[in-house]
Amino acid sequence: MKPRVLLGMSGGIDSSVAAMLLIEQGFEIVGITFLFSDVNNSDETTVNDAKKLAEKLKIKHIVVDLRVLFKDTVITYFKGEYIAGRTPFPCAYCNPNVKFAQLQKYAEIENCDFIATGHYVQIKSYRGKKFIFRGKDNDKDQSFFLWGLSQKLIEKLIFPLGNYDKQTVKKLAKEKGFLSLANKKESLGICFIEGNNYRKFLKSEGIISKPGLFIDTKGNVLGKHKGITNYTIGQRRGLGLHLNYPVFVAKFLLNENKIVLGNYAELYKNRLIIKDYKILDNELVNNGAELIVRVRYRLQETPCNLNILNDERAEVVLLKSEAMIANGQTAVFYDGDRLVGGGFIESSE
């Protein structure tokens, strides 16, 4: 019998080419499409594209409505973070708590041995355990979003696109007669926010922060802000101030409803506290190995030491200071190309 794999299908080029590759590799596929919101993922076109592909490839396809779960879990988290003065990272929260948790659930229901998606990452063995490694295509590597997955789940994962770059995936789609997929526009930004306008979304959800004061690092008043949720750490443009020198959002004083502005040099940090962390190689961390940490998806890799404080929190000592670190975002750890963990940033200094 062929090994059976549950494949997350969005109707886009990545999961579609993943399906074609899995068939060539001898897998029996069950395709699954999740409905997450009324903005993008539940759009009729998305579901229909996935269904049409499944019919063409002659594979079973199911659609699961997760809109209520998604709203109660991810959107509730997203709003709560902004109310608390933090900058949420919904993908890092959704993947372990909703998307891959549900893939795991339906893999059991459908008697599937493996779970696959169209992510650009690789699975490799290291000292008898499977780990997520960065994908071949550095520009598309998505390991940064998957640090929250459990070891048990990783053992069942297959990522068919891990050894491909995006241009090759588009070429494969054309060669297999799916020209429309190769030319299909990809969705960007936050999947449940139309136009990626999070300020408009928060306002529609009744979250309206009150105007307050801009101050400098010494407490001097520089002007008035329009509400803390309208700003992000590192922001320079759109502050509405007319100073003769550049200033950036450096810190939120939630209890005082004040925003601290500073020069760029004052944005640099060298110590983080993370919470709700997950470490997949405890031996490496316990031995004090130097790791690479990324606090932004692109263009940043910093050597660090990771010190476990307790079951909920850990200290990250940056061996090279980094700027524009926002509370609520994630710190993701690597040993070379191997993903070894991550956590949500609680504070920085």
**Domain containing 139 — which CATH number?**
3.40.50.620
Quote the pLDDT of residue 196: 83
Same domain, 279 and 260: no
Going across the sheet that includes 114-116, the strands are 60-65, 28-35, 4-8, 114-116, 157-158
Quick check: 180 pLDDT over 80?
no
Quick check: 310 pLDDT over 60?
yes
Query: What average pLDDT does the segment 235-256 reach?
Result: 94
Same domain, 233 and 118: no
Same domain, 316 and 170: no
In a domain, 200, yes or no: no
Same domain, 333 and 227: no
In a domain, 157, yes or no: yes
Nearest CA among 166, 161, 10, 224 for reference residue 99:
10
Quote the pLDDT of residue 41: 47
Please tell me the pTM assigned to this model.
0.94
Task: Look at phi and psi of residue 152 and say left if phi exceeds 0, alpha if psi is from -120 to 50, else beta.
Answer: alpha
Same domain, 125 and 155: yes
- Evaluate whether 312 touches 275 at the Cβ level (below 8 Å): yes
Same domain, 51 and 185: yes
Q: Distance between CA atoms of 22 and 4, rounded to whole angstroms?
A: 10
Q: Which of 91, 112, 191, 304 is catalytic?
A: 191
Same domain, 145 and 168: yes
Same domain, 313 and 261: no
In a domain, 27, yes or no: yes
Express each pLDDT in 182-216 by its tens digit.
666 676 678 888 888 899 999 999 998 999 999 99
User: Residue 10: what residue type?
Assistant: S
In a domain, 188, yes or no: yes
Question: Dihedral, CA atoms, 155, 159, 160, 165, nearest 10 degrees?
Answer: -140
Of 38-47, 126-135, 247-256, 301-310, least confident by mean pLDDT is 38-47
CATH of residue 214's domain is 2.30.30.280
Of 17-26, 48-57, 183-192, 196-205, least confident by mean pLDDT is 183-192
Between β-strands 28-35 and 4-8, what pairing exists: parallel, antiparallel or unpaired? parallel
CATH of residue 305's domain is 2.40.30.10
Same domain, 21 and 123: yes
Q: Note if 191 is an active site residue.
A: yes
Q: Distance between CA atoms of 153 and 130, rounded to whole angstroms?
A: 10
Q: Where are the beta strands (DSSP E) in 129-247?
A: 129-134, 157-158, 212-216, 221-225
Q: Distance between CA atoms of 317 and 136, rounded to whole angstroms?
A: 29
Same domain, 275 and 252: no
Instruction: Classify burial at 304, counting beta carbons within 10 Å of its beta carbon; exposed 0-12, middle 13-18, buried 19 or more.
Output: buried
Same domain, 161 and 186: yes
Instruction: Classify burial at 266, counting beta carbons within 10 Å of its beta carbon; exposed 0-12, middle 13-18, buried 19 or more.
Output: middle
In a domain, 332, yes or no: yes
Boundary (domain end) residue, out of 194, 224, 258: 194
Q: Note if 94 is an active site residue.
A: yes
148: confidence class by pLDDT, cuts 50, 70, 90: very high
Same domain, 182 and 43: yes
Boundary (domain end) residue, out of 243, 266, 289: 266
Quick check: 44 pLDDT over 80?
no
In a domain, 203, yes or no: no
Q: Please work out, in degrees rounded to the nearest 5, the angle formed at the alpha carbon of residue 193 by the alpha carbons of 196 and 11.
A: 100
Number of H-type helices and E-type strands within the chain: 11, 17
Boundary (domain end) residue, out of 165, 194, 223: 194
Q: Give the total number of structural domains in the chain.
A: 3
Q: Which residues pair with 214 in a beta bridge?
A: 223, 259
Nearest CA among 188, 238, 249 for reference residue 216:
249
Q: Distance between CA atoms of 33 and 41, rounded to whole angstroms?
A: 9
Residue that is written with structure tokens 């049409």 in the block: 52
DSSP per-residue codes, 218-264 = TS-EEEEES-GGG--TT--TT-----SS--EEEEEEGGGTEEEEE-G
Residue-number span of the structural domain to which 21 is assigned: 4-194
